[in-house]
Copies of this chain bind each other. A is one copy, B any other.
Amino acid sequence: MSSLEEKTLSTEQIFTGKIISLQVDEVELPNGKTSKREIIKHPGAVAIIALTDDKKVVMVEQYRKALERTLVEIPAGKLEKGEKPEVCAVRELEEETGYECEKIDWLTSFYTSPGFADELVHLYVATGLNKKVNAAELDEDEFVNLIEVTLEEALELMKNQKIYDAKTAFAVQYLQLKEALKTK
Contacts and interface: CB of A to CB of B under 8 A. Distances in A.
Contacts of A143: 4, 29-31
A111 B63 contact: no
Given A20-B38, A20-B40, A66-B118, A164 B25 contact: no
Name the residue in A108, A114, A144, A176 with the highest tally of chain B Cβ atoms < 10 Å from its Cβ.
A114
Counting contact residues on chain A (CB < 8 A from B), the size range is 35 or more
Contact of A35 (B40, B118, B141): B141
A184 to B, nearest CB: 5
A166 B164 contact: no
Interface in A49-89: 61-67, 70-71, 73, 76, 78
A119 B116 CA distance: 10
A173 interface: yes
Nearest to A168: B110
Given A110-B166, A166-B170, A66 B15 contact: no
Contact of A66 (B115, B164, B184): B115
A155 B164 CA distance: 25
A104 to B, nearest CB: 20
Name the residue in A33, A62, A64, A167 with the highest tally of chain B Cβ atoms < 10 Å from its Cβ.
A64
A63 B114 contact: no
Interface of A: 2, 4-6, 8, 14-15, 17-20, 22, 24-25, 27, 29-31, 33, 35-40, 42, 45, 61-67, 70-71, 73, 76, 78, 108-119, 121, 140-141, 143-145, 158, 161, 164-170, 173-174, 176-177, 180-181, 183-184
